Amino acid sequence: MTQPIFLVGPRGCGKTTVGLALARVCQSQFVDTDHWLQTHAGQSIAEIVEKEGWGSFRARETATLQAVTAPSSVIATGGGIILAPCNRQFMRENGIVIYLCAPVSILVGRLEAFPQEGQRPALTAKPLSEEVSEVLAERDALYREAAHHVVDASAPPEEVVIQIITVLDLACAS
């Protein structure tokens, strides 16, 4: 498999966890766009947003996506990367996009269990379950538009990896 695999979905869907496991199985390079961006910026996403605003962060996110895209790689993207039409188009044209889809209750449970994992500032001032529900309602159609395949990410990571490999094998066979 030489095309990059882009994992998209909301915070808590498992893009990084599944991405690392998938990259191991596929013997591919793994890149997390949020981690790459923060490392190269020398500051957290929250700091970038606070100092420069969301617009600047989103521009950096697009530049990061293009910089990390390489053959034989698994790329975990930030949850909002699909907000820019150019990012959706770029991923669809330059690789295979997998939407890790999970219900709000699963996403909230994971975010509450590992609060430090989502080092992004809150998108609203609402309680977490309300925010996740609203953000998912706004973005679900965009994730689906970007995706070549939708995978149920409510399962344990190992099972999600098997689902992805199965979908990719089936896609290669057709």
Mean pLDDT calculated for residue range 105-122? 74
DSSP three-state, residue 152: strand
The pLDDT of residue 173 = 52
Q: What is the pLDDT of residues 53-93, one digit of tens each?
A: 999 999 999 999 999 999 999 999 999 999 999 999 999 99
113 — pLDDT class (breaks 50, 70, 90): confident
Domains of the chain: 5-173 (3.40.50.300)
Residue 161: pLDDT above 60?
yes
The pLDDT of residue 172 = 58
Residue 174: pLDDT above 50?
no
Residue 111, CB-side half-sphere exposure with 13 Å CA sphere: 23
Q: Using an 8 Å Cβ cutoff, are 164 and 25 in contact?
A: no
**What's the mean pLDDT when you consider all of the chain?**
91
Give CA–CA dist 62/87, Å, rounded: 6
Beta carbons within 10 angstroms of residue 56's beta carbon:
12
